[in-house]
Structure 1
């Protein structure tokens, strides 16, 4: 008996010591990445749900629904975009035809990833937003701050000040199979939480939506085109490798969850293919394995640190192979190698056919783009190319985009107010004539916008007259500098006027 008592006592002491050691070594919650938080939360709480083959989605729906939120935005659109049968901005997010500069209200969906309020959604849900409001599953309304946006993948990360929020377990989109049951969860057509079911009908699908959106001119560029007849050319850096599903997706589902039958997040719903603007059986979701890298960059840097091979290529098919007078009809034909890029340094040449990435066969553009899209500058990737009838392995070190500032914006990390440099704009005192024109007594003119900074992400128009910062009237750059630190609860509020339309931005 005494022996049993000693064993129990030893077990108790050992357990207490283990708990104490864990607490002592436990990482600071604020420093943990989204993936690390997910691992801690689900390590000792595995989901016990029916297998993928089950057609009973009751438990999966119950697990997922509380963590899918309704996002409402007030936004000003400065772009000029025409609708199309595959236009996610209009088909998924509502509206149609040419977009107006006047503020509008719209809604979409989002998915809570961490209990402290990090939420993933689509870039086009919060693009140009003046105010982002999140309605939680318990019907609370909270204001969200945009942490980062990426039009190249149509992803965005926002943050609300809340604790103990319900979350979804992140799954593995690489393991998703065609024919597998999936659920789409969101807020379609302004309805409350809605769950629809279907199967995965294709993977690595590219439909050209992001490329077309990147080619659309802004309002300023459209006006310039009307004057000069010239539009600026743009490089297409979009990454499309969608999971295609026949689960019903409609306007408002944008940014919502695509989950497997185990209730694990495998994709972020982003687009539909439709002639009518509503579901016709084809929906598209961004794979979560691609999204994870983008979201971690947002959390850590505020922007995406994307690595590039430094080549342009064309997917091969029978017709294009015939034009090139080559026999291969699978792979990516390299038609240009950028000087000083990672591909050039590794020895890739024009005319090479990329056949494998890290030993995995590739057949189309999305196969390569998604894999590279998960990597960062400095990462190494092994490409297998076909040259002169021989396969050759080349080790490529990815290089970054020098135009991207990868220093983390303090506005995404601190709650003590923004600074002039974080706003990313240049200013000039407003002339008396301009003040008279708008009927105001104070104001500072926005003369330039820096790409990737706060004003750019909020779509503040160049030429806007800033009237107040955190409630204070401003007449000079110094007035703005003095007013910025006075933000309350970490939120900075700026009001202004442009083209006789008043704007208010909070971030």
Structure 2
């Protein structure tokens, strides 16, 4: 009897502690991080679903589906033409493209999101909410609530939004490092504007880079000229984007963007972001952002409204047999350091051009995602150990990551970045259009509009980012320098800009 009384007392104490912790969380204690809030939520209610033996996803689907939401966004006309809906984006990257008529009426798009806390923090993709005028979230109980953006990051395609609601269902964040190739996973979201949909598949690869975040980055004019003359480029452009996707054959379609990829235990291991397909629909593989990378990015959004990213400060090339032969090095794996800008963390730690990065924190690396994801989880001031090979000798180097403002960091600067007062008045920056892009639209000249500033000329004319400017004042343009030179040639004080985009040819006079 005494023993039973002790058991009941222990149960009451444990239950009271859990309830007290939840009530503390429910009151919106912003001193807790998103991860800490999750730890409190699931401390007394762990999901215990075995993924061994008979495959059964019923409980996992039931645990996750209520916390995956439908996101509907509204865009103005110019944004719609340059960005499109999440569905258009997937078609654009994987075999389709914007196919609408030019219209000034607002356009709607849809995607998915995952609730992380009962007070309404929701993770989704940047491309789902970027440049949206209005964001509506449809909850599992069919309520429709308006969301505000807390932070967005194009370099990882992640966004954090917030709705004013309480007692919302939550998905438990798992550990994407523990995900194994061959493991069963579920994709949960709102594909093709359908209601909550669950599909199953396996993890077919990890640390996959598909180049979707780098597509708009072009070589500089000088690099293109160097390639024409020599067939090589001495300094490849570095990229700030981080792609280290979990690849799965679970069916993912447009509308799944921002939805959940969960393991058989119902734990969130990835945020669905893209598909590889010839048609823009599921017929190949889906790709999800690892949750361990997302955790850091989302916490930065919540604290600062932006990402505080740490940088090593190197440009590198992944090695394979062919690249090793070109560079005349013996290693067939690792990252060959091609440049170490002054003022960066790598330069301060003594890393040199020609070194080969073999390990990060003792773990062997083979390709850029192996390094970029691990660095992407860290902040300026964090320590990192790299193992390098120099002249065939392995050496451990400890360095301290530096912030984006550090001198000499290997970061992307858009080709043809706008300079000078004349371009400044346009409120736009430009990059040379690639030969493939020119061929696609049947033009012989062109620069891509890479950015449009609010309140300036291009913005007022509804000239969208992504449009190709083929000529200014009748003069063909292929670089920012060409744009600068063509602007003063206007007659009667009027400037004419001619361009082409997915919806046809355009001409603007101002």
**TM-score, normalised on structure 1?**
0.71
2:465 is the counterpart of 1:462: no
Q: Distance in 2 between matches of 1:268 and 1:204?
A: 14
| Shift, 1:213, TM fit | 3.8
* Residue 66 of structure 2: aligned partner: 66
Displacement of 1:86 in angstroms is 11
Q: Once the two structures are superposed, what CA deviation does each residue of 1:141-184 show, in whole Å capped at 9, x if it has no partner?
A: 00000000000000000000000000100011000000000000
Name the CA shift for 1:379/1:53 in 2 (closer, same or farther; >3 Å).
farther
Which position in structure 2 is the counterpart of 1:162?
Answer: 165
Displacement of 1:235 in angstroms is 5.8
Secondary structure at the counterpart of residue 210 of structure 1: coil
User: How far 1:462 moved relative to its partner?
Assistant: 3.4
Confirm or deny: 8 A CA contact 2:91 2:280 kept in the other structure: no
CA distance in 1, matches of 2:207, 2:7: 57
Return closer, same or farther for 1:213/1:20 CA change in 2, 3 Å cut-off: closer
Matches of 1:288 and 1:38, distance apart in 2 = 13
Give the deviation of 1:461 after TM superposition. Answer: 5.1
1:352 aligns with 2:346: no
Which residue is equivalent to 2:401?
398
Unaligned residue ranges in structure 2 (runs of 5+): 220-235, 407-424, 429-450, 461-510
Query: For 1:26 and 1:193, how far apart are their aligned partners in 2?
Result: 31
Task: Report the alpha carbon displacement of residue 75 of structure 1 after superposing the two structures with TM.
Answer: 1.4
Alignment match, 2:328: 325
Q: Which residue number in structure 2 is paired with residue 426 of structure 1? A: none
Tell me if structure 1 keeps the 8 A contact 2:114–2:259. yes
Deviation at 1:18, TM superposition (A): 8.3
The match for 2:124 among 114, 118, 121 is 121
Corresponding position of 1:150: 153
- What is the alpha-carbon distance in structure 2 between the residues aligned to residue 10 and residue 56 of structure 1? 34
Q: 1:458 to 1:130 in 2, by over 3 A?
A: farther
- Give the Å deviation of 1:114: 0.4
Q: Name the Cα RMSD after superposition.
A: 3.8
Query: Post-superposition shift, 1:130?
Result: 0.2
- The correspondence of residues 28-43 of structure 1 with structure 2, limited to 5 A, is 29-43=29-43
Provide the C-alpha distance between the structure 2 equivalents of 1:118 and 1:37, rounded to a whole number of angstroms: 11
Distance 1:140 1:373, change over 3 A: same
1:47 maps onto 2:47 in alignment: yes
Between the aligned partners of 2:260 and 2:295, the Cα distance in structure 1 is: 14
Measured at CA, do residues 13 and 280 of structure 1 come closer, stay the same or move farther in structure 2, by a change above 3 Å?
A: closer
How far apart, CA to CA, are the structure 2 residues paired with 1:185 and 1:16? 33
Contact 2:427/2:453 (8 A) holds in 1? no
Tell me if structure 2 keeps the 8 A contact 1:81–1:98: no
Query: Counterpart of 1:475?
Result: none
1:15, CA displacement in angstroms? Answer: 3.9
Take 1:260 and 1:254, find their aligned partners in 2: how far apart are those partners?
A: 18
Indicate if the aligned counterparts of 2:93 and 2:212 stay in contact, CA closer than 8 A.
no
Alignment partner of 2:98 out of 76, 79, 96:
96
Are the aligned partners of 2:136 and 2:145 in contact in 1 as well (CA < 8 Å)?
Answer: yes
Match among 347, 358, 378 for residue 381 of structure 2: 378
In 1, Cα distance between equivalents of 2:249 and 2:11 = 55
In the alignment, structure 1 segments of 5+ residues that lack a partner are 217-232, 404-445, 450-456, 466-507
TM-score (ref. length: structure 2): 0.71
Aligned-partner SS, 2:215: helix
For 2:474, the equivalent position in structure 1 comes to none
Tell me the equivalent position of 1:177: 180
SS at match of 1:39: helix
Change (3 A) 1:123 1:61: same
2:140 to 114, 137, 144: 137
